[in-house]
Structure 1
Amino acid sequence: MLIEYYQSKTELLLKNYVSADPFLVYTSVVIGIIGCKMVYDLSQLFSVYFFKSYLDLTNSRQIEWSNRAISTFHAVYITSMSIYFILWSDLYSDNLDRGPITLRSSILSTSTLGVSVGYFLSDIGMIIWCYPSLGGIEYIFHHVLSLVGVTYTMLTGEAQIYTYMVLVSEATTPSINLRWYLDAAGMKRSRAYIINGVVMFFAWLVARILLFVYLFYHAYVYYDQVKKMHGFGILLTLVVPALLSVMNSIWFWKIVKGLKKTITKRD
């Protein structure tokens, strides 16, 4: 298949490029950080020319505008790669000859996580530097949890399947950011704003509620393979998604109330 062909070509290129796993890890993280910087700069450049409302924003809001461009770019990237690994790749298939599903990794899967680590490092740095305009303590807590979990699986190769399940939740980020952009552009009463709210509701329900339920079900079914991981890896697999689930549920309730309020005002 075409997808398998490009996968093999990509992994062959990475194998020829790197001589050791640590070099792969550090390179992919640096690429993630540089990518964030490039998106930030390009966002500022294009926004000045293509969005009139951008120039009317305060300096802190312009920073948030470009920061959300970074998170949108990362969300599209990591969601696409996560869906690929979970649904299309045979890396996490039920083939027992390949060993426990919780211990499987590849050059491509590890380097993909490295880019994501670079993003989380960049975003945490920006949140702390601009605190609290880009988010409060709950955002820092969320990012630190995500960073610890992704970094561990990147360095050890353990539980990458569950990490990618969690990272699918980034699929909700574009709609969240679009909602902020519509608000910043003065389109809070537009039809697009309401449609976006509905899309955000269903995306959050699927990617951050139902998918997490499936993750815990999967870990229960494959617990005999989960137990083959290091103790810290088992702890991260069970605790990090659980904590994120609590935060996701709280935010989901706020989304429901906000959507209800918007529709009520519309009527």
Structure 2
Amino acid sequence: MASTMEVKSYKYQAELLVKDYFLADGLIEYTSVLCGMFMCKLAYDITHLLSSFYYKRYASLTKLQKTEWNNRGMSTIHAVFVTFMALYMVFISDLFSDKLVGPVTIRSSNLSTFVLGVSTGYFLTDMAMILWLYPSLGGMEYVLHHLLSFLALAYSVLSREAQLYLYMTLLCETTTPSVNLRWYLDTAGMKRSKAYVLNGVAMSVAWLVARIILFIYLFYHIYMHHDQICMMHPFGYFLTLTVPVILFAMNLTWFMKILRGLKKTLRKQTPTKQQ
């Protein structure tokens, strides 16, 4: 009985800490970014620890391969977290629904700002790693992608404008786990396995939905609410109209490469099935 009361007491204290400190109006913009950076470090270390214990070939990887392995574990955890929260904010929460009165471009809450701040911390950390080890973790297109994402997120966190469009854009992180799994399977020597092929198909479908079709709907939403976007700060207006277009162009380019890679993989698998 006493232990139950102690657990409830700790839970209550934790809830107070979150409400009074992490979600406090004057601190949320900064604590959320710090939390995002801390979560990146934690996810990186957990990936390293678990891989060392449960994957025997991890020890034989080169130093750069281990770094990318851990980095992709970090990005996967962020993707799962931010996808779940984006789905909640866009489709479940009433924050951006038509039930509320007022421009959708200026709607925000402490929770919505905190989640975007965490994502800002992730993109800042990941971009720093990419630049530090350039070009081992990605070329200039990754730097551009992360820089645009960081600028848009940081602006939205500080101004609390256009958060709906940031969440719509963050839904493209749905594809990240399958992209990382593709690299893991390749590094593990499973490029000819059925799991690699199935993951390639799933990645292509997810990319089409989350990074192509959803962006087309995003452009439609921006067009229909252009009068509300015009009420934003000029810099916010500029980011809202330009960042999605650049990201969409990059998504299309990557999608073409993904389809070409999938075709090659399927061609290699076909002779095997006929023998």
TM range (shorter): over 0.9
Q: TM-score, normalised by structure 1?
A: 0.93
Corresponding position of 2:168: 165
Q: Distance in 2 between matches of 1:211 and 1:28?
A: 27
1:111 equivalent to 2:83? Answer no
Judged with a 3 Å threshold, the aligned counterparts in structure 2 of structure 1 residues 185 and 41 are, in CA distance, closer, same or farther, namely same
Which of the residues 31, 36, 51 maps onto 2:55?
A: 51
Q: Is the Cα–Cα contact under 8 Å of residues 11 and 108 in structure 1 kept in the other structure? A: no
- Partner amino acid, structure 1, of 2:89: F
Larger RCO (CA within 8 A; separation ≥ 6): 1
The alpha carbon displacement at 1:106 in A equals 0.2
Q: Is the Cα–Cα contact under 8 Å of residues 29 and 157 in structure 2 kept in the other structure? A: yes
Corresponding position of 2:80: 76
Corresponding position of 1:255: 258
Corresponding position of 2:5: none
- Partner amino acid, structure 2, of 1:68: R
Corresponding position of 1:36: 40
Corresponding position of 1:215: 218
- Partner amino acid, structure 2, of 1:110: T
- Partner amino acid, structure 2, of 1:265: K
Which of the residues 167, 177, 180 maps onto 2:180?
A: 177
CA displacement, residues 162-219 of structure 1 (integer Å, 9 cap, x when unaligned): 0000000000000000000001111000000000000000000000000000000011
Once the two structures are superposed, the pairs formed by residues 1-150 of structure 1 within 5 Å of their partners are 14-17=18-21, 21-97=25-101, 99-150=102-153
Q: Distance in 2 between matches of 1:141 and 1:221?
A: 28
Which of the residues 183, 199, 205 maps onto 2:202?
A: 199
The alpha carbon displacement at 1:111 in A equals 0.5
Judged with a 3 Å threshold, the aligned counterparts in structure 2 of structure 1 residues 235 and 180 are, in CA distance, closer, same or farther, namely same
Corresponding position of 1:6: none
CA displacement, residues 12-61 of structure 1 (integer Å, 9 cap, x when unaligned): 87543358534111111111111111111111111011011211211100
- Other structure's SS at 2:27 match: helix
Q: Is the Cα–Cα contact under 8 Å of residues 102 and 161 in structure 1 kept in the other structure? A: yes
Q: CA RMSD in A?
A: 1.6
Query: How many residues get paired?
Result: 257
Higher radius of gyration, 1 or 2: 2
Q: TM-score, normalised by structure 2?
A: 0.90
Using the TM superposition, name which of 188-197 and 219-228 deviates more. 219-228
Q: Unpaired runs of 5+ in structure 1?
A: 1-9
- Other structure's SS at 1:21 match: coil
User: Taking every aligned residue pair, what percent have the same amino acid on both sides?
Assistant: 56
CA displacement, residues 100-146 of structure 1 (integer Å, 9 cap, x when unaligned): 11100000000001100110111011111111110011100100000
Corresponding position of 1:7: none
Judged with a 3 Å threshold, the aligned counterparts in structure 2 of structure 1 residues 11 and 163 are, in CA distance, closer, same or farther, namely farther
Judged with a 3 Å threshold, the aligned counterparts in structure 2 of structure 1 residues 105 and 263 are, in CA distance, closer, same or farther, namely same
Q: Unpaired runs of 5+ in structure 2?
A: 1-13, 271-275
Large movers: runs of 4+ above 2 Å: 10-22
Q: Is the Cα–Cα contact under 8 Å of residues 11 and 107 in structure 1 kept in the other structure? A: no
The alpha carbon displacement at 1:234 in A equals 1.2
Q: Distance in 1 between matches of 2:24 and 2:89?
A: 23
- Other structure's SS at 2:129 match: helix
Q: Distance in 2 between matches of 1:175 and 1:18?
A: 32
